[in-house]
Amino acid sequence: MKARQFPAVLTAAAMLFASLPQPAEAEVQSYDREAHTAKEISAFFASHPWDMQNVSVFDAQPSLTAPYAPGALSAETQQETLNCLNCIRYAAGLPADLSVKAEYSELAQAASLVNCLNGMLDHAPAKPAGMSEPMFRLAVLGAGGGILSRGRSAFCRSIVEGLMGDSSDKNIPTLGHRRWILNPELLYTGFGQAENFYTVYINDFNRQEKFTGDYIAWPPPNMPYYLYGKSGRYAMTVSLGDAYDTADISKVSAEIRSEVLDKTWHLDGSCTDFDYYLTVNNQLFGTGNSLIIYPGELFPENDSVTVSISGITKNGEPAPITYSIQFFDMDPRQRGDCNLDGEVSVEDAQDTLKAYTETVAGKADGLSDAQRRTADVNADSTVSVEDAQYILKYYVSNTVAGRKVTWDALLAEK
């Protein structure tokens, strides 16, 4: 993956825009980061389904031989990928109402094709021999306005593990891909793929509301462990709101406390080793004035982590930040949560059984696609009595008896 290289261009454009006369009557609406509970996040994921295992489907396959054809992802694949982005933003407390703009997907698709043909990720790609000038112009716009990744087997996996992880030696000084996904002003996006080359078009600042919160943190206060890095390095980002002064790395320090590991880390500007790291990055990757922190270890499942940051100011006055991160288990398919309320209960078993009986009677099952997906716990493409029985058994084991049983373990029982 490559970090974006056009912050100066965007800054110049913003300065030009600011110099233009603005309507006196225009009033910009503001918003703050929302605090979502683990139950609310689970319910949102259930109603916006996606899976890191799902392979993309194309309406038109990209042609990798001259005269070339960019291809097009199916509407279903684009919707699933959009759901992935919106779920990430919802967990972070940001507006989770992104939508796909067709022209953005056209640009992203051309960018993925050119990078695939060239065999490398490049925001300013070379023109492949035999490609038409109009197609190449689309690719240049898409590559310049997109975040790029390659190598993973599925688009959503590339977003979660690649673009949101973003903690390689090359990317950890900026965490730019993650910060573009968490850009408070983002409203529209587009997706492109050629083989295992992926593009998310992200150069969009169409949201009219202005973020006025203190910070945007990742991992957020309630973090599905499903979204967290399981191996290697995974840095934390804290992007400060406009009320904060530009952070000074010589003054900033952070204390990180893990309850499960029973460890506390102290980091400051002297921590320049990428495996024990704190820095400030003020480039415009969606947001500027961002702190990047890696304490040298990954946090385990169900950990409770406290983050305390000092040495940051508002109008020259100290304005430290302290917040907690609670990692929580979340079944990625939200199996069994038929009514999409964020938990598995008796009502879910009843709704599943009712849907089955409606089907037997020759009627519509009354479920949405998302509900049908969660009710089909054994993944046999039908909603049945067996699914209802499994849901009830899961509820009794985990909620009534307090015996933690995973879906995989439950479904494996004879």
Which two tokens mark 229? 């890095």
Please check whether residue 333 lies inside any domain of the structure.
Answer: no
CATH no. for residue 93?
A: 3.40.33.10
169 and 318 inside one domain? no
191-214 pLDDT tens trace: 999 999 999 999 999 999 999 999
Please check whether residue 241 lies inside any domain of the structure.
Answer: yes
Closest C-alpha among 190, 161, 192 to residue 178: 161
Segments forming the whole domain that contains residue 77: 7-201
Q: Is the peptide bond before 67 cis (omega within 30 degrees of 0)?
A: yes
91 and 218 inside one domain? no
Please check whether residue 207 lies inside any domain of the structure.
Answer: no
351 and 303 inside one domain? no
19-78 pLDDT tens trace: 344 444 457 799 999 999 999 999 999 999 999 989 999 999 999 999 999 999 999 999
Residues facing 314 on adjacent strands:
317
Please check whether residue 158 lies inside any domain of the structure.
Answer: yes
User: Which pLDDT score is estimated for 26?
Assistant: 56
Query: What's the number of domains the chain is made of?
Result: 3
DSSP character string of 135-152: HHHHHHHHHHTEEEEES-
31 and 51 inside one domain? yes
From first to last of its 414 residues, what are the pLDDT tens digits of the chain? 443 444 433 433 333 333 344 444 457 799 999 999 999 999 999 999 999 989 999 999 999 999 999 999 999 999 999 999 999 999 999 999 999 999 999 999 999 999 999 999 999 999 999 999 999 999 999 999 999 999 999 999 999 999 999 999 999 999 999 999 999 999 999 999 999 999 999 999 999 999 999 999 999 999 999 999 888 999 999 999 999 999 999 999 999 999 999 999 999 999 999 999 999 999 999 999 999 999 999 999 999 999 999 999 999 999 999 999 999 988 777 899 999 998 899 999 999 999 999 999 999 999 998 899 899 999 899 999 999 999 999 999 999 998 888 888 898 886
249 and 172 inside one domain? no
Is-contact 81 99, C-beta < 8 A?
no
Please check whether residue 312 lies inside any domain of the structure.
Answer: yes
Please check whether residue 127 lies inside any domain of the structure.
Answer: yes
Please check whether residue 86 lies inside any domain of the structure.
Answer: yes
Q: How many whole angstroms separate alpha carbon 45 and alpha carbon 330?
A: 9
Which two tokens mark 388? 């209802």
User: Which pLDDT score is estimated for 13?
Assistant: 38
45 and 164 inside one domain? yes
Closest C-alpha among 198, 233, 199, 207 to residue 286: 207
DSSP character string of 78-108: HHHHHHHHHHHHHHHTS----EE-HHHHHHH
User: Which pLDDT score is estimated for 406?
Assistant: 82
Element (H, E) at 108: helix 102-118
